[in-house]
Amino acid sequence: MGLKCALDGPSGAGKSTIAKKIAQKLGFVYVDTGALYRSIGLYAVRNGAKTDSEEEILPLLKDISVELKYVDDVQRVFLNGEDVSDMIRTPEISMAASNVSAIPAVREFLLGLQRDIAEKNDIIMDGRDIGTVILPNAEVKVFLTATPEERARRRYDELVAKGQEVTYEDILKDINQRDYNDSNRKTAPLKKADDAVEIDTTKMSVDEVVDSIEELIDAAKRRDFKVIPAWRIRLYSILRVIAGAVFFLIFDIRYKGKENLPKSGSVILAGNHRTWFDPVLIAIRVKYISSYMAKAELFDVPVLRSIIKLVHGFPTRRNSADVSSLSRAEEFIRKGYNLTMFPEGTRSRDGKIGRARSGVAYIASKCGVPVYPVGISYKGHLCFRRKITVTFGEPISPEELKINNLTKTELRAAGERVMSRIAELVESNG
């Protein structure tokens, strides 16, 4: 389940602009609820229906399909397969959107879509009733506002820049009328949620508003991510030092890319899988306490099970979509642990890089954490004093993974990006 930020407020308060910037900066999915209602308003206008008439709008809903898609990293709105992103921004369609949004059947029609997106991603959603109706349990709720005159000025400048012939007076009149309509409708009226933070943007720059909301999101994340008990950290440090002494005695280990080592916890360390000792080879140089994914068969051996659990290992079944292990991984990350895993899911005895499973991309996206690629290289068979090179690469941010909707295609592509970076590290050592 992702972190949810609800952004409410009247028309022209800057919700869409702010939400898009935050989504881009933090790697969140932006859900433009206004665009959804505008699309229905556009369809109604095209079909000659009265946009404030439930009797005329209701029969149209069965023929409407609205989708949010990313095209060249820009979110676009599609109505029955047609890109209507620009058509829905006119004053006429704005008023139509306000009218259709007051119809209960329309709100019910879009409710499931909005909540489904929110359950699968870290999202920021803007609208009129996000914090009160759509996402009442959102971790962050913000009510953006500004004076009607300032909101009208912004909308006027925006439309003139697009080449539309409008007057400031007409836009101000539309803004005031829409405020009245939104605040006085019977179904889900415009209202500040009791636990929302109000931000008046009248005299604030866009960057100032973005920074203010980002601070609220950071605070919510800090509440969500727990502190690891001190005794666990001390025990892990002792085990890491002992393991390091033993491994440096047995093998000739060289570490590269130390400048790329994570400087905090709650990250994913993803390496290629050569040997049983890979988790230890990584842990020796990573300061922060980690958890580990281990194949379920190892837990069938009592002694191994005890050792693996001691270092925060948990089982995963490699040949199936093990939902419980993914949830366990997310739980460890949110408690402040790193997660060390091997995306290939099995060891490569000849050193060749295999294909990634989707787990690494799924966990990174769900938790909004970076992936640190690790390349483990050695020639021949593992033996006494064998030279082993472990290379830490630059982190891959959640934004670089380009995951918007957790589809199989996106997860597979993101997993391959991670394996590609790992392969580069391995190949750099011959």
Distance CA 306, CA 309 (A): 5
249 plus 186 within the same structural domain: no
- Give pLDDT, residue 6: 92
Which of 200, 224, 248 is the endpoint of a domain? 224
Distance CA 260, CA 267 (A): 12
Distance CA 354, CA 274 (A): 11
23 plus 124 within the same structural domain: yes
Within a 13 Å sphere around the CA of 138, how many CA atoms are in the beta-carbon half? 33
CATH number at residue 241: 3.40.1130.10
Domain interval for residue 34: 4-224
pLDDT by residue, tens only, the chain of 430 residues: 568 899 999 988 889 889 989 988 887 888 888 889 999 999 999 999 999 999 999 999 999 988 877 777 677 889 999 999 999 988 899 899 989 988 989 988 888 777 777 776 788 988 888 898 888 888 899 999 999 999 999 989 988 998 888 999 999 999 999 888 888 877 778 888 888 888 999 988 899 999 889 888 877 776 665 567 778 888 888 999 999 999 999 999 999 999 999 877 789 999 999 988 999 999 999 988 999 998 888 888 888 888 888 888 998 886 666 777 888 888 888 888 899 999 998 888 788 888 888 889 989 888 888 999 999 999 888 899 999 999 999 999 887 887 777 788 888 899 999 999 999 999 988 6
292 plus 162 within the same structural domain: no
202 plus 244 within the same structural domain: no
CATH number at residue 94: 3.40.50.300
401 plus 374 within the same structural domain: yes
pTM: 0.52
171 plus 257 within the same structural domain: no
Backbone angles phi, psi at 328, to 5 degrees: -65, -40
397 plus 341 within the same structural domain: yes
186 plus 48 within the same structural domain: yes
29 plus 112 within the same structural domain: yes
Which of 224, 246, 266 is the endpoint of a domain? 224
Cβ neighbours around 204 below 10 Å, total:
17
262 plus 236 within the same structural domain: yes
Total structural domains within the chain: 2
Encoded amino acid at 35, one letter: A
What is the layout of strands, in order, in the sheet containing 4-8? Answer: 29-32, 123-127, 4-8, 140-145, 197-200
Which of 224, 256, 286 is the endpoint of a domain? 224
